[in-house]
Amino acid sequence: MAETAPPIDLQAETIITLNARMDSGALTAHSLTQHCLDQIERINPKINAILEINPDALHIAQELDQERASRGPRSLLHGMPILIKDNLDTADKMMTTAGSLALVGSYAKVDSFVVKKLRQAGAVLLGKTNMSEWANYRSTRSSSGWSSRGGQTRNPYALDRSPGGSSSGSAAAVAAGLCVAAIGTETDGSIVSPSSMNSIVGIKPTVGLVGRSGIIPISHSQDTAGPMARCVEDAAILLDLIADVDPADDITKQRQSALPIHRPKDLSAAGLKGAKVGVARNYCGYHEGVDEIVASAISAIERAGGEVIDGLGLVTMADIRVHESIVMSTEFKFGLNQYLSGTTQQCVRSLADVIAFNEKNSPTTMPYFRQELLEISQARNDLSDPEYQQALGESRRLARDAGIDAMLSEHQLDAIISPTTCPPWLIDWVGGDNRSGGSACAAAVAGYPSVTVPAGYVFGLPVGLSFFSTVDRDAMLIKLAYAFEQQTKARIAPQLNDHATLN
């Protein structure tokens, strides 16, 4: 007889409550995994967040149940179904394609470092999520959440709206309750922006806190994986278990002093008391509804005992982007060629091969927008190019010394806050994304940590608040974000509406 799953509402559960139910025998990893699979079958046709289900998920869950019964749980993630973005290698029956038809048939020989840590922690790898193809590094006119392999992911708060990118499927799946939590990746905004637009928590760690081997790269100076969850505590638990020194990623050796991140016992609703935060006011002002949410957030922080310094100006995205674009296009070619040279499929072994594949198969690979970013990258010189070296130095100077660090130092701040990004825009495959604002750039280019938390809604469309600071302040930001979350309790579960609530 098939196992009957007990009632489960992941919108109301956390990793801690799920563990308590498993410890009591009221819930099993198998029944929880089956619940997630049932939810995927029911909801995913509407949001298209999942590319591939792990065919061994239920078997893995059953083995983990047996292990819990005989030896106890490995960690708080033991038996928890976790979804993985499709640019992280999994050495199993699932492909790793970055959403590209060019990599269909590519099966990893070795787990990415993050996936290895998840398996060691006892997580159930539930499946792979759809994403903006090549992590949104293909066209200046792309539609976030669209890939040639998977099609368009949709926002569960309004199905005609964008889920943001590039960790689109991870964000939409978490928001819709298809998993306990998910892994995303970010180069510039790809964790925090879709998290904000799907009303979940996203943590973009300090670069190097989480090992990056086995992740299809864009920029080794900015890339990182990070957790995406419905609450800060769950995201913190996930980050704590994937953050570690990666022998294949030298930058992680610099982050050892920042480990561990935050155990649940370290989090407190009083975490904002005595904190001093500054508002990057020049990253506001693009929508009156967003500004009203920022005003409410400031009041909430002050009620929680924090001090807010408003009206501050942070280095602009436009100033940084002119240099960042050179860095990303140069590093993308270098990193992707290195990654592709070790894949199992044979027809695509370099960026030049990807470009040629897309041209040859353009009706399916490029039906709406082209690949000009890939072509720009292919034309770049190697990492010794003086133009690249100068751009890298200037990017870091603007984002760090003259940017975040300058603002923190001048005003003696613990952190900076700003709206993470604008409300979700209408999906437009012809014109592309219609983003009116966002604040991810400075922390992303600096390699500094950032946490976004649900802060409110504009006509039912989610808006998140970002907390960001300097290097290795991940734990402090998590503490502040948790206290803000507890003060506001802003998150509302999605109703899978066809359109935004405009009245």
For the chain, the straight-line distance linking the first and the last C-alpha, in angstroms and rounded, comes to: 49
Q: Torsion-angle region of residue 110: left (phi > 0), alpha (psi -120 to 50) or beta?
A: beta
Whether residue 445 lies inside any domain: the answer is yes
Predicted confidence at residue 2, as pLDDT, reads 45
Report residue 265's pLDDT band, with 50, 70 and 90 as the boundaries. confident
CA distance 361 to 373: 18
Closest CA to 499 of 45, 44, 157, 42: 157
pLDDT at 38 over 60: yes
pLDDT at 424 over 60: yes
Cα angle: 438, vertex 303, 422; to 5 degrees: 15
Average pLDDT over residues 314-339: 98
Number of domains making up the chain: 1
Closest CA to 151 of 461, 427, 373: 427
pLDDT at 122 over 60: yes
Give the DSSP per-residue string, 76-122: TTTT-EEEEETTB--SSSS---TT-GGGTT---SS--HHHHHHHHHT
Token pair, residue 31, equals: 């029944």
Predicted confidence at residue 108, as pLDDT, reads 97
Average pLDDT over residues 399-428: 98
Q: Is the dihedral of CA 486, 489, 491, 495 positive or negative?
A: positive
- The pTM of this model reads 0.97
Whether residue 501 lies inside any domain: the answer is no
Predicted confidence at residue 345, as pLDDT, reads 77
**pLDDT per residue as tens digits for the range 98-117:** 999 999 999 999 999 999 99
Average pLDDT over residues 466-477: 96
Q: Is the dihedral of CA 235, 236, 241, 245 positive or negative?
A: positive
SS3 call for 503:
coil
**β partners of residue 155:** 158
pLDDT at 5 over 70: no
> What string of H, E and C letters represents the secondary structure of 313-381?
CCCCHHHHHHHHHHHHHHHHHHHHHHHHCCCCCCCCCCHHHHHHHHHHCHHHHCCCCCCHHHHHHHCCC
What average pLDDT is seen over the chain? 96
Whether residue 496 lies inside any domain: the answer is no
Give the DSSP per-residue string, 213-241: TTB--S-TTT-EEEEEESSHHHHHHHHHH
Closest CA to 450 of 272, 196, 177, 247: 196
pLDDT at 502 over 90: no
Whether residue 499 lies inside any domain: the answer is no
SS3 call for 15:
helix
Q: Helices 474-488 and 288-303 meet at what angle, rounded to 10?
A: 100
CATH for 174:
3.90.1300.10
Average pLDDT over residues 316-340: 98
Select the more confidently predicted residue: 255 or 434: 434
SS3 call for 278:
strand
Predicted confidence at residue 302, as pLDDT, reads 98
Predicted confidence at residue 1, as pLDDT, reads 37
pLDDT at 269 over 80: yes
CA distance 315 to 327: 18
Closest CA to 211 of 95, 94, 117, 74: 117
Q: Is the dihedral of CA 379, 152, 183, 291 positive or negative?
A: positive
Report residue 6's pLDDT band, with 50, 70 and 90 as the boundaries. low
Predicted confidence at residue 261, as pLDDT, reads 66
Whether residue 62 lies inside any domain: the answer is yes
Whether residue 401 lies inside any domain: the answer is yes
Are the beta carbons of 443 and 159 closer than 8 angstroms? no
Q: How many other CB atoms are found less than 10 A from the CB of residue 330? A: 24
Predicted confidence at residue 146, as pLDDT, reads 98
Closest CA to 80 of 213, 242, 206: 242
Q: Helices 29-47 and 168-176 meet at what angle, rounded to 10?
A: 120
Predicted confidence at residue 78, as pLDDT, reads 98
**What's the domain range around 430?**
15-488
Whether residue 2 lies inside any domain: the answer is no
- Name every residue whose Cβ is closer than 8 Å to that of residue 276 and which is 6 or more positions away in sequence: 306, 307, 309, 411, 412, 413, 414
Predicted confidence at residue 263, as pLDDT, reads 67
| Catalytic site positions | 85, 166, 190
Predicted confidence at residue 458, as pLDDT, reads 98
Report residue 346's pLDDT band, with 50, 70 and 90 as the boundaries. confident
Whether residue 51 lies inside any domain: the answer is yes
Closest CA to 415 of 404, 429, 401, 424: 404
pLDDT at 30 over 70: yes
